[in-house]
Amino acid sequence: MAIDFGKVAVLFGGNSAEREVSLMSGNAVLNALIRQGVDAHAVDPKIDDISQIKALGFERAFIVLHGRGGEDGTIQGFLNTLNIPFTGSDVSSSAIGMDKAKTKQIWQSCQLPTASYQIIIKENFEPSTATDILASLSGAVMVKPVHEGSSIGMAKAENAEQLVAALEEAFKFDNKVLLESWITGDEFTVSMLNGRALPAISMKTTNQFYDYQAKYQSTETQYLCPCGLSDNELIELNYLAEEAFKTIGCSGWGRVDFMRDENKNWFLLEVNTVPGMTETSLVPKAAKQAGISFDQLVLSILEQTL
């Protein structure tokens, strides 16, 4: 297999707000590839001159860059120009998947379930409209920077004062912010490998929602896999995940996140085209439940470049 892959660039780190998570993911992937005998090397766009990637003899790239510059089509377009095969989704689906607003609009047009929402542009926002905005979205909202991941800049707002404060914080990360009607219920995620759903995971946290602290710092967050759904519920969830992935044009591997409300209605949250890849991240957890080891998972993703 090592001969087939040639020299592999594992791209991680980068300049986004998710740099620290990317460093953890990238090191895990790099070590797994080396264990498998692959001629893999770390490449960090923040430190290394990636314009030399072709001249240095790299034949393919494993992208483990989270957030802007790595998950938004930028690095994918760069690698396309150099004719270097890479893991994961193509330029357009990466760009759309990174944009929570565009993703929701496409899902809506395809009649896939997603919560009511409003898009707020920084320069157009008037604090005096906060009360009316909340009223139009059932009185409580989740505030999300449109182009960030790992729950960065996210917050719940239940009154005008909270909404203004949450938007001010979110605007530090993005000039465009998504407000979604608050959904009370359970959060689920479905990892995708080669276009097919892996076993679903349910996340339980004592935090207000599954935020950055719950994802990367808490020792109390619970990950249930099997997730406790009936066979019919799993069929419906997997169908929605595969349709959601396909309608954005995603390919290879990724993750689709959901909420299920108290009436057992599903709502699509977002798609991740380069999800976390530490050995305790959600995609590896789902793969393990399917009988796929971390090293096998990493190799399977890299095989998509052949």
Give residue 2's pLDDT. 47
Give residue 4's pLDDT. 85
Q: Does residue 184 register a pLDDT over 70?
A: yes
Question: Do the domain assignments include residue 305?
Answer: no
Give residue 217's pLDDT. 54
Q: Does residue 215 register a pLDDT over 60?
A: no
Query: What is the percent of the chain with per-residue pLDDT over 70, rounded to a whole number?
Result: 93
257 is catalytic: yes
212 is catalytic: no
Same domain, 27 and 7: yes
Q: In this structure, what token pair is assigned to residue 57?
A: 């003899």
Same domain, 107 and 246: yes
Same domain, 243 and 208: yes
270 is catalytic: yes
4 is catalytic: no
Give residue 100's pLDDT. 92
Mean pLDDT of 144-164: 85
Give residue 205's pLDDT. 72
Same domain, 101 and 143: no
Mean pLDDT of 232-261: 96
Peptide bond into 85 cis (omega under 30): no
Question: Do the domain assignments include residue 188?
Answer: yes
Among 181, 251, 272, 281, the active-site one is 272
Same domain, 150 and 246: no
Q: Does residue 211 register a pLDDT over 70?
A: no
Mean pLDDT of 280-285: 91
pLDDT band at 297 (very low <50, low <70, confident <90, very high): very high
Same domain, 148 and 235: no
Mean pLDDT of 286-303: 96
Same domain, 50 and 142: no
Give residue 32's pLDDT. 96
Q: How far is CA 220 from the centre of its chain?
A: 22
- Helix 91-98 and helix 100-109, axial crossing angle in degrees, nearest 10: 100
Average pLDDT along the chain: 92
Q: In this structure, what token pair is assigned to residue 120?
A: 């707020």
For residue 272, the surrounding DSSP H or E stretch is strand 266-272
92 is catalytic: no
Same domain, 239 and 282: yes
18 is catalytic: yes
**Closest by CA position to 249, among listed 271, 222, 269:** 271
Among 59, 77, 136, 216, the active-site one is 216
> pLDDT, tens digit, for every residue of 51-78?
999 999 999 999 999 988 999 999 999 9
Give residue 203's pLDDT. 87
Which residues, 6+ apart, have CB-to-CB distance to 263 below 8 Å?
none
| Contact yes or no for 276/25 (Cβ under 8 A) | yes
| Contact yes or no for 195/242 (Cβ under 8 A) | yes
Q: Does residue 1 register a pLDDT over 70?
A: no
Q: How far apart are the first and last CA of the chain?
A: 11
CA 278 to CA 285: how far, in whole Å? Answer: 10
150 is catalytic: yes
Which residues is 256 bridged to in the sheet? 190, 271
Same domain, 196 and 177: no
Among 94, 150, 191, 202, the active-site one is 150
Question: Do the domain assignments include residue 168?
Answer: yes
Question: What's 172's domain CATH number?
Answer: 3.30.1490.20
Question: Do the domain assignments include residue 301?
Answer: no
Same domain, 271 and 159: no
Among 14, 257, 260, 281, the active-site one is 257
Which residues is 123 bridged to in the sheet? none
- In the chain, the number of structural domains is 3
Containing structural domain, residue 176: 117-181
> pLDDT, tens digit, for every residue of 12-50?
999 998 899 999 999 999 999 999 999 999 999 999 999
Give residue 135's pLDDT. 94
Question: Do the domain assignments include residue 306?
Answer: no
Query: What is the percent of the chain with per-residue pLDDT over 90, rounded to a whole number?
Result: 83
